[in-house]
Structure 1
Amino acid sequence: MVAQVSNRIKGLIMVITGATLWGLSGTAAQVLFQEKQITAEWLVVVRMILAGSVLLLFAAYKRMAIFSLWTDIKSVVNLLLFGFVGMLGVQYTYFASIATGNAATATLLQYLAPVYIVIYVMVVQKHRPSKEVTFAILLALLGTFLLITNGSTGELKVSLISVIWGILSGVALAFYTLSSAQMLKKWHSVIVVGWGMVIGGGGMCFIFPPFPLPSVHWDMETWLLILFVVVFGTLLAFLLFVESIRYLSPTESSLLSSVEPLSAVVASIAFLHVPFGLFQTIGAVCITVTVLLLSQKKERQSSRSTTSIL
């Protein structure tokens, strides 16, 4: 019993730490974009190639067959789609939203992904949403409205382009989640995500080569922020989340990862002095509650052995 409690605490610490690092990495990226003149394109390429390569090296160290995925034609097609559209789409749209707005709003808008997944499943399976799901979607819409307007329709509190990138980030994350589902049943998540990052980052290299940017002052703070985003905000955060599933259920880990937008909001306010009004705070709570409601709905239906989340 003591060992079980100890393992559960270990899992809780892992997932909360990982989610916090994810959220803080968005704030670090905002500093790089808005104060250090690093471009979103450059950071995406560097982050994905470095993080993906290290993940694959980690998988090889753990004696995983990292090249076995490439022997299955169907998996290769899905992996390429996942890497170029899912992984690259999520990374670029998220950073673009931060670069044109702020990390807090970008993270919260990305967290609307479960709503898009529910709508997609509803359309594909031709199901009418339950009252609970309808309420969750309306709550998400209300939260988004309050987040970007602070309750006033006369003026946006976040730039329109940032909102568009943020919404696209949520759509990309929904695609990322759905497109990786089948591969994750057959291959370890470290292998799938590692290759996805290398493919997406490698493909983007042809458009935005990761050469040093001449306009950037490469001081120690710049390098430390880049190191934090790549190592702590990507590699360590992902590995902690994956390892936490050994001690917690996947649903518990997903619910606790809601700490990510909270840490992004707190860090943006504390370190970058991003203004966050009362109604924006209420909007953030609405979006977070939406994620919790949809995650709990999925958990209950999974226990009844059904694939629908409606």
Structure 2
Amino acid sequence: MSGKPSKLTGFLLVIIGASCWGIGGAVSQRLFQEHDVSVDWLVTVRLLTAGILLLVIQSLLKDRSQVGAVWKNRHTAVPLIIFGLLGMLAVQYTYMASINYGNAAVATLLQYLAPVMIIFYLLMRRLTVLNGKDIITVALALTGCFFLLTNGSLSALAVPPPAIIWGVLSGAALAFYTLYAIPLLRGFDSLVIVGWAMVIGGAALSFVHPPWAVNLTAFTGEMYVYLIFVVIFGTMLAFWFYIESLQSLKPQETSLLGSLEPLSAVFTVVLWLGEPFGGFQWFGTACIIAMTFLLAFEKKAASAPAESKAL
């Protein structure tokens, strides 16, 4: 894409990108739970393929020199490796593991606890003070999680405990990912940072589950379609479209429309996969979505954290 897209194009890009993210989680769930695809293998393939494609896009359509320049200074190379392992790989793996043990809707919504975790981190570091908006944000997140995970019952959880644990860890990983990426994104295009982070994370996980260590002959045509959707549409295109939308939209607008990700995940899981979703869980979902709307209108919204979104 060359030149600055129109505002209408920007809206379409972020809507498509956010929707692909959410739907990609549901498609991954189907691969895990109905086709016995390994979480380790899918995350490895997803990161390596999408990361390489993003770097190719950067080389062809943007500043090619940045692809190699990020490695020429240890002050950027070392943080990039840390970001790739503790940020990108951690976010992707915990998110997928939560989907594997539960479902994409709950995993996506639990990941949206990241802003609340960031608030608590900044408070502990005394980098901010608690205000009324923060209190409402935390209250919405905690209320939403309670109803999402219990469906209003205090006697039993509506979601398997492993899915909850991995989902909360995914939120924590996303909080680290968002904060740690800011200095890197100030010096380089987001496609460069996220592309290399995906390659680093995928390469590291290759030692656990090499991408070639799979019986592809056992894959059906349906599985190949799902795999292509997860890697291309649910990862590479989703992130690229989201970033491109920032050229014509305000960060607040992009963040607001980005809330379509959990909505698309919930509706895809319920309508396509037929997962049961209780009335109180819908209420919990509404609370978490309301929290994202509240954050989207934050006056101090910064473009760097918005640009670091890549699920």
* 1:268 aligned residue: 269
CA positional deviation for 1:136: 1.3
Does 1:219 pair with 2:220? yes
CA positional deviation for 1:302: 5.2
Distance 1:191 1:302 in 2: 22
TM-score of the pair, normalised by structure 2: 0.92
Q: Tell me the secondary structure at the aligned position of residue 271 of structure 2.
A: helix
Distance 1:147 1:17 in 2: 26
Distance 1:111 1:135 in 2: 15
* 1:44 aligned residue: 43
* 1:58 aligned residue: 57
* 2:17 aligned residue: 18
The residue identity in structure 2 corresponding to 1:279 is F
* 1:207 aligned residue: 208
CA positional deviation for 1:266: 0.3
* 1:182 aligned residue: 183
Distance 2:301 2:99 in 1: 35
The residue identity in structure 1 corresponding to 2:232 is V
The residue identity in structure 1 corresponding to 2:145 is T
8 A Cα contact 1:38 1:216, kept in partner:
no
8 A Cα contact 2:256 2:296, kept in partner:
yes
8 A Cα contact 1:94 1:166, kept in partner:
yes
* 1:279 aligned residue: 280
Number of equivalenced pairs: 297
> Percent same amino acid among aligned pairs?
43
Distance 1:203 1:301 in 2: 36
* 2:8 aligned residue: 9
CA positional deviation for 1:216: 8.4
- Residues 166/216 of structure 1: CA separation in 2 closer, same or farther (3 Å cut): farther
* 1:122 aligned residue: 123
8 A Cα contact 1:79 1:196, kept in partner:
yes
8 A Cα contact 1:22 1:237, kept in partner:
yes
Distance 2:202 2:60 in 1: 22
**Structure 1, residues 114-169: CA drift from partner, whole Å, max 9, x if none?**
11111111111254311221121011111001001000011111101101100111
Distance 2:129 2:189 in 1: 34
- Which blocks of at least 5 consecutive residues in structure 1 are unaligned? 304-310
- Please list, as runs of the form range in 1=range in 2, the aligned pairs for 1:78-89 lying within 5 A after superposition: 78-89=79-90
**Structure 1, residues 46-83: CA drift from partner, whole Å, max 9, x if none?**
00000001111111112421100001211111101100
8 A Cα contact 2:81 2:200, kept in partner:
yes
Distance 2:185 2:29 in 1: 31
**Structure 1, residues 197-241: CA drift from partner, whole Å, max 9, x if none?**
000100111112123435983100001100000001111111110
Q: Tell me the secondary structure at the aligned position of residue 129 of structure 2.
A: coil
Distance 2:147 2:140 in 1: 11
Distance 2:292 2:116 in 1: 8
Distance 2:98 2:175 in 1: 17
CA positional deviation for 1:195: 0.2
